[in-house]
Every structure is written in C-alpha cells, then in structure tokens.
Structure 1
Amino acid sequence: MVRRISFPPVETMPYSLSSFMPGLTSEATAVLLGATLLGGLVRGFTGFGFAMVFMPLASMVLGPVAALGLIWFIDLPFALPIAARSARRAEWAEILPLLLTATLALPVGVWLLTWLDRATMRWILALLVLAAVALMASGWRYHGRPSVPLSLGVGGLSGLCNGMASIGGMPLAVFWLGAQRNDRHKTRANMQTFFGLSTLVSGTVLWWKGILTLGALVMAVPLFAIYGAGLWAGTHGYRLASEQTFRRGAYLLIFLSALFSLPLWDGLLGR
C-alpha cells in the first residue's frame, strides 16, 4: 500500500524569506537583496568591490557589526575557490608583505568597529569609500615596482579597513589599480588571491570577537544564490568589457552605493 504524502500549499510553507531575516521590514530585506546582487556584479566584474557596495547599504538596515558578520558568511564559499584559481597568476612577492601587515592591523579595526557608535561608523564607512573612488577615478598612477615600506603600509591600512567594515580591498584597489604597469588581469588575480587568504584570517578574529553568529549564518543562506548570480554576470561582463569600461563601471556602482548610504539622507528617506 502506497502512502500518500501531502505538502502544505506554497503560501503556508513554514519557510520563507522572512524566516531567514526575522525582524527586518520588506524594505530592509529589499536593500539587502539589491546590495548582494550589485556587490556580486562588481566583484565578478572587477575582482574586488563586493564589500564596498554591500557594507554601506547593509549597515543602514543592520548596523556595521551585524553587516560585517553577514558579509563574511556570504563571501566565504566563493572567495576560497576563486582565490585557488587565481593563485597561479598572482604576484606573491607583492601579496605576502601586504598580508602580513593586514593581519597585524585587523584586530585594531575590529576594536574600532565595536567601540565607535553606529552613526559614526556609517559616516566613516561611506566617506572612506567615496574618497577611494574619487582617487581611483582621478586617473592617478604611480610608476615602477612598489617599495617594501609602501606595501607594508597599504597592507596595514587594508587590515584596519577589513576589521572596521570588511572593506580591506579598498586600499588594495587604489594600490593595484594605480600601478600603471599592472593590467586588469594581473590586478584581479592579485586581489582575488589576497581576499581568499585574508578571509581565513579575518574569520578567526571575527569568531573570537563574537561577530560570526548563527543568526548571521542563517541570514546569509538566501543570499548565496543572489551573490552567485551577480558574480556569474559580472565575470561574463568582464570578459566582454574594455579596460576603460572595466574601471568606469566599477567606480560608478561603488560611488552610488556609498552616496546613497550616507546618514545625511536618513531624514529625507525616512530611514
């Protein structure tokens, strides 16, 4: 005798998007979904920039601390395989000094994140991103190979920004995109390799500080597919785009995300 198994109607299924994101309004959920998709698009297109898009927007609805834990879980399953594929083309002589000082500065950034109030962190985050975009878009370039002190300094700044808001790629983008000798393929390989390694390091520190929570993991579950779709679309767009389009598209998306996230607009937008 075959036993018939009945399923509840779709509208009464126990799991929905709100089940993974309890306490968030539909508008806040839409912001997270849009930020994830746009961030994945930029990340796939340029090799960096997910956090520069996602963090300012996610911080509006979650606060910087919760957003930092969420972004780590979202990016982890993608950052490690991408880094493994990029490692063969990366310049390890440049990556290792950066990674060393980034690791040392990371706990200081996490301390600042938990010490500063939410509004102050939102201002700092948005203004740092806007300043970085302005510098990159200005066309500034430096010549020759980067010196060891410069690499160590950029690595320290990257670790500080990574601990504060998971935007450790921002100083690296200025550093590598500003190198006239680097083409976009080498830039992507360097950044993707660095991100994979720094993800493992930052995960240890964030877990120790209690920022990687079960709630953040649950919230990340429905965002994995959206982020993956953005990465796929961005990667295919990168293969078709020119060098000029590659840079301008990334700058525009990052700039608009940071501009929209400024606390200046909270009253006007009812946030």
Structure 2
Amino acid sequence: MPEVLTQALAVEGLVWVALAAFVAGIVRGFAGFGTAMIYLPIAAQVMEPLWAIMTLAAMDIIAPSVHIPAALRDGHRRDLMRLMFGVVIMMPVGLWLLDRTDPQIYRYLVSCLSLIMLAVLLTGFRYRGAVTRHMVYGIGGAGGLLGGAAGLPGPPVILFYMASPHGPKVIRANTSAYLFFYDILLLIVVFGLGRFDSTPFVLGFMLSLPAMAGNLLGGWLFHPDYERLYRGVAYMIIAMAALSGLPFLDGLGTH
C-alpha cells in the first residue's frame, strides 16, 4: 500500500486534478450535476483514459453512498434493474473501444461529448415520446456503452429517462442509484477484464476528499432563489473544462 500511495501522489499534474475534483464537487453541490463533464476533460490531460475513468468511479462511490438506501426506497427497482442490465451488457463493449482509442482522440471525445451535453442542457431539449420497458434496457445499454468508452454514463438517462411516466422523485432516486451502481460495476468489470490497477483506485479515493469538500461547500452556497444563477455558473465551468481538454488548445491551457 505505501508503494501504491507513493505512485498515486507522484502523478504529474495531481494538483490540477485535485482542483478539478474540488470544483466539480462544488458544482455538484449547488447544481446537482456536472461532475464527469468537469473532471474528465481535466484528468484526461494528465493521465491515461482508463485511469481518468477509474479515478472518477472510485471518487464518486463514497460521497453518494449515504443517499443510496433512500434512493432504493423511493425509486422504481424494476426499472433500475433494467437500466443496470443494459449497463452490464454494453459496458464491456465500451471498455473494449476505450482500450483501442488513442489518448488524444479520447480527449477530443470526452470534451466534445461534454460540450454537446452542455448544448442540450442550454436548449432544454428532452425526449418527449413514450418510454417503454424495453426502451429502458436500451437506455441502460447506451449509458453502459458511453460510460465504458468515455466515462459519461449519464447523458442517455438524462435525455430519455426523464420522459418516463415516473414522477420527479422516482426519477431522481433511480438516476442516483444508477450512477452509483454504474461506478461499482465499472470497477468490477475492469477487474474482470484484468485491467484493474490499484494506483488510480487509491488516487480516486484520495480525490474523494476534495470532491466531498467541494460538495459540502456547494450545498452550503446553494439557495433556491438563485437556482438560475447557479446553473449559469455550472454551465460556464463545464464549458471551460471541456474546452481546456481539447488537445489543440494545450498551448493555452495548464501545460
């Protein structure tokens, strides 16, 4: 363990990654979203893609865990199982694609996906059609594919599952539980594929500290009367993080 900890602390650009985790935590605290879209474009600049995704998964397991019992109680368990079934089927495919993706291409991918998702949030687009039980399997599969290939399992659920007949409380509960179990499944699948590395895992747990601190600060700063302001700040930070992750802007960024 001391050797792994030494390797984790020796990661080049660790300060920037920790700052990204802290800022992502603040945004998550006052806006309720954005962790991956802020953290991954920064992390991908200083570590290989799989490490970036693994650190995010390990980082994101601790803080939300206290809310999972309530999420399972308030959510729709059958739909959650359908989502997770799709994740289990498609996540290995996403990881297979990730393994064959050049790190520079990955940086373009995660930054562009973050910018596309930001544009969707800004326009207020939502899928308006009916969401059937079979579609929920597909939504989970799309999340597993995007999660494995880019570390962004949330967009398919946000765009399509919000149109389900369930109320906001159930959707929020299922989404929270889905993302939590996605993180656990990711680490299990990576281990099963023989790609598990203890260094990014330990680094992710270390980064959970600034992420939790940011989350607490963001929650403390939040006030319902200023929700639109918080969302505007969140969108601006996501845009800055995504743009900084584009390789052709390296000369203007942190390096």
- Give the superposition deviation at 1:48: 3.6
Aligned alpha-carbon RMSD (Å): 3.0
- Tell me if 1:85 matches 2:70: yes
CA contact 1:136–1:174 (8 Å) conserved in 2: no
Question: What is the distance in 2 between the residues matched to 1:180 and 1:241?
Answer: 28
| TM-score, reference length from structure 2 | 0.84
Question: What is the distance in 1 between the residues matched to 2:31 and 2:139?
Answer: 19
- Tell me if 1:205 matches 2:193: no
- Give the superposition deviation at 1:145: 4.8
Fraction of identical pairs, as percent: 27
Q: Letter of the 1:222 partner, please give it.
A: M
CA contact 1:136–1:178 (8 Å) conserved in 2: no
Q: Flag structure 2 segments of 5+ consecutive residues without an equivalent.
A: none
- Tell me if 1:128 matches 2:113: yes
CA contact 1:129–1:258 (8 Å) conserved in 2: yes
> Match for residue 159 of structure 2?
174
> Match for residue 98 of structure 1?
83
User: Which residue among 91, 97, 101 is the counterpart of 1:116?
Assistant: 101
What SS does the corresponding residue of 2:44 show, helix, strand or coil? Answer: helix
Larger CA deviation: 164-173 vs 40-49: 40-49
The alpha-carbon distance between structure 1 residues 119 and 144, as it changes in their structure 2 partners (threshold 3 A), is: closer
Question: What is the distance in 2 between the residues matched to 1:118 and 1:201?
Answer: 23
User: Which residue among 59, 63, 67 is the counterpart of 2:48?
Assistant: 63
Larger CA deviation: 166-175 vs 49-58: 166-175
- Tell me if 1:265 matches 2:253: no
- Which structure has the highest helix share of the two? 2
Question: What is the distance in 2 between the residues matched to 1:248 and 1:182?
Answer: 25
Question: What is the distance in 2 between the residues matched to 1:243 and 1:270?
Answer: 30
User: How many residues are matched?
Assistant: 253
User: Which residue among 211, 232, 235 is the counterpart of 2:219?
Assistant: 235
| TM-score, reference length from structure 1 | 0.80
- Tell me if 1:189 matches 2:177: no
Q: Which has the larger radius of gyration?
A: 1
Question: What is the distance in 1 between the residues matched to 2:156 and 2:190?
Answer: 20
What SS does the corresponding residue of 2:75 show, helix, strand or coil? Answer: coil
- Give the superposition deviation at 1:186: 4.9
Question: What is the distance in 2 between the residues matched to 1:124 and 1:150?
Answer: 25
> Match for residue 147 of structure 2?
162
1:46-73 C-alpha deviation (Å, 9 max, x unpaired):
4443222111110011121211221222
1:52-103 C-alpha deviation (Å, 9 max, x unpaired):
2111110011121211221222122223322223222223354332222122
CA contact 2:109–2:150 (8 Å) conserved in 1: no
CA contact 2:127–2:159 (8 Å) conserved in 1: no
Q: Flag structure 1 segments of 5+ consecutive residues without an equivalent.
A: 1-13
